[in-house]
Structure 1
Amino acid sequence: MPGWLSRIGGRSQRVDSLASGFVAHRSAYLVLDQRRAPERCAALVAQPGWHDYLTLFAGTPLSPLLEASPWLVELKLGSQAWQAATALCQEQRIGWAFQPAQDARLEDLADHLRRLFILDDPHGGQSLVNVQDPTAWTALLAAGSDTAYAQLVGPLGQVVTPTPLPHWQAWQQVDEVGEDASEAMAPPLTHELEQALKESSRAWWLSAATDMPLQELPPEWLERLGRLEAAGIHQAHHLQRLLPRVQQEPNPETDWWAQATTMELLQAAMPAWKKVDALEASA
């Protein structure tokens, strides 16, 4: 299993409710990718329990993309606005939630998150990271070192993310980071983090397709799915047809994945649908 998946269980625990671990009488916050559901997100503004929000690209090098900016939203826990927003996170997985250990200014929380959208990458440049996407955010939280994890969580306190399954993950809180360390809250995008981000969508699809938690996925399943994608097979309905091959029990004597015919089909220059037909029919 890729290391980042195995660390999910060590850094978080499964919870059935998004509000698990949150203090009832204090505000909670959501990071929402509002561009993926603009009408439903806009409707939140008028609902009871809505306090305030900020656009996270404002005042950053990403400000030209302000209309597509994710939001940082402050809500009353358990309110109508909260219920609607958390439904968005669970049904469409367009965001995640947190609650600081102490009362915090919305602007300070936004400043912390703004540092995380552009990270120094291992190639000597900088890369945009979709922090608002729970798929990417989960990979970042799981894949980094303990120091990187603390830098990511920083002042956010209790972080809770959706999963590909109906439950949620509540992540370990970290010791508060002092003001002197505020400029160091953006970890570099290491090779490990970069690889986890590349694998994250694949892992989420497999988890949902097999009803298996991310941290329990067998490593060979992810490797096989990666081989299909490298062969140009990306569409969900095509991958679903080949899922039995992905889940096939390892057998050194009759390893379908090691057969010359399989490898030839994967490398063949043909449309994806025709390749899937041939792979599905091959012995």
Structure 2
Amino acid sequence: MPGWLTRIGERSRRVDAVAAGFEAQHPVYVVLDQRRDSERCAALVGQPGWHDFLTLFAGTPLAPLIEASPWLLELTLGSEAWQAAEALCREQRIGWAFQPTQGARLDALADHMRRLFVLDDPLGGQSLVNVQDPTACTALLAAGSDTAYAHCIGPLGRVSTPTPQGHWQAWQPAAHQGDAKAPPLTHELERALKEIQRAWWLSQATDLPLQELPDEWLERLTQLAEADIAGWRDRKRLLPLVRHADAAMWRQAQAILFDTSLTVRQKISELERHS
């Protein structure tokens, strides 16, 4: 298993009710990728328990993408607005929640979040990280060093991200004493951001938590993608092979996967016939 997946279990715990980890007397904050369900997100505005919100790309180099900007919402825990936002995160995977352990201003929290969207990459450039997506947020928190983890969590306090099983993952708070500069996009984090999409799908398809996925399954799913078999319907058809093939059977599968004389459709048919 990739090391960053094991750190999910080391840095967080599963909770069935996200509100159980928050304090009722303090506001709770939700990061939403509002472009993925703009109608339901817009309906949150003005609901009981709604306090305020900011568009996170405003005032940043990403401002030209303002219509696609994620939102940062301030809500009352347990309110109608909170329940609707929590359902959007858990059911549609379009956001996650946090509550600072100490009082914090909405604009200060937004400034911290804004530093995480564009990270310095290993090639000397910069890369956009979709932090509003729970999959990317999970990879960011799990794959970074202890220092990077503390920086990301920092003023956010108690962070909870939805899981593929529809539960929540509550991450340990961590104090950060360094400067305000965002952590770099390391090779491990870059790899994790690519792997998390396949791992999330596999976790959902097998009902196994991310941190319990066998490394062999993930490697086989990666090989399918390298052979241009990446659609979820095709992966689902080949999931029994990914999960149950022994070493000899998988060697035969690899010969089919990387046979350049076969089309993708032919590869899938051959793999199903041999499974």
TM range (shorter): over 0.9
Task: Give the Cα–Cα distance (whole angstroms) in 1 for the partners of residues 273 and 150 of structure 2.
Answer: 49
Residue 267 of structure 1: CA displacement? Answer: 3.2
Task: Give the Cα–Cα distance (whole angstroms) in 2 for the partners of residues 264 and 276 of structure 1.
Answer: 9
SS at 1:44 equivalent? coil
Residue 278 of structure 1: CA displacement? Answer: 1.5
From 214, 217, 237, the equivalent of 2:210 is 214
Alignment of 1:99-248 (within 5 A): 99-175=99-175, 177=176, 181-184=178-181, 186-248=182-244
Number of aligned residues: 275
Give identity over the alignment, percent. 66
**Scaled by the length of structure 1, what TM-score is found?**
0.94
**Amino acid across the alignment from 2:170:** A
* 1:228 and 1:266 in contact (8 A); partners too: no
Residue 257 of structure 1: CA displacement? Answer: 1.6
**Amino acid across the alignment from 1:80:** E
- Equivalent in the alignment of 1:84: 84
- Equivalent in the alignment of 1:66: 66
Task: Give the Cα–Cα distance (whole angstroms) in 2 for the partners of residues 209 and 6 of structure 1.
Answer: 19
**Scaled by the length of structure 2, what TM-score is found?**
0.97
Residue 182 of structure 1: CA displacement? Answer: 4.5
* 1:9 and 1:215 in contact (8 A); partners too: yes
Task: Give the Cα–Cα distance (whole angstroms) in 2 for the partners of residues 270 and 47 of structure 1.
Answer: 55
- Equivalent in the alignment of 1:48: 48
Residue 282 of structure 1: CA displacement? Answer: 2.2
* 1:157 and 1:173 in contact (8 A); partners too: yes
Q: Which segments of 5 or more consecutive residues in structure 2 lack a partner in the other structure?
A: none
Task: Give the Cα–Cα distance (whole angstroms) in 1 for the partners of residues 18 and 3 of structure 2.
Answer: 26
* 1:135 and 1:201 in contact (8 A); partners too: yes
* 2:57 and 2:65 in contact (8 A); partners too: yes
* 1:163 and 1:169 in contact (8 A); partners too: yes
Residue 102 of structure 1: CA displacement? Answer: 1.3
* 1:164 and 1:208 in contact (8 A); partners too: yes
Residue 269 of structure 1: CA displacement? Answer: 4.7
Task: Flag the 1:183–1:28 CA change in 2: closer, same or farther, 3 A.
Answer: same
Q: Which segments of 5 or more consecutive residues in structure 1 lack a partner in the other structure?
A: none
Q: In the alignment, does 2:266 pair up with 1:274?
A: yes
Task: Give the Cα–Cα distance (whole angstroms) in 1 for the partners of residues 3 and 242 of structure 2.
Answer: 20
Q: In the alignment, does 2:249 pair up with 1:256?
A: yes
Task: Give the Cα–Cα distance (whole angstroms) in 2 for the partners of residues 271 and 68 of structure 1.
Answer: 37
**Amino acid across the alignment from 2:220:** R
SS at 1:96 equivalent? strand
Residue 235 of structure 1: CA displacement? Answer: 1.0
Alpha-carbon displacement from aligned partner over 1:21-79 (angstroms, at most 9, x marks no partner): 10011100000000001000000002111110000001111000000000000000000
SS at 1:247 equivalent? helix
* 2:224 and 2:257 in contact (8 A); partners too: no
**Amino acid across the alignment from 2:266:** K
Alpha-carbon displacement from aligned partner over 1:193-226 (angstroms, at most 9, x marks no partner): 0010010000000000000000000000000000
Task: Give the Cα–Cα distance (whole angstroms) in 2 for the partners of residues 15 and 161 of structure 1.
Answer: 10
Please provide the CA RMSD for this pair: 1.3
SS at 1:26 equivalent? coil
**Amino acid across the alignment from 1:190:** T
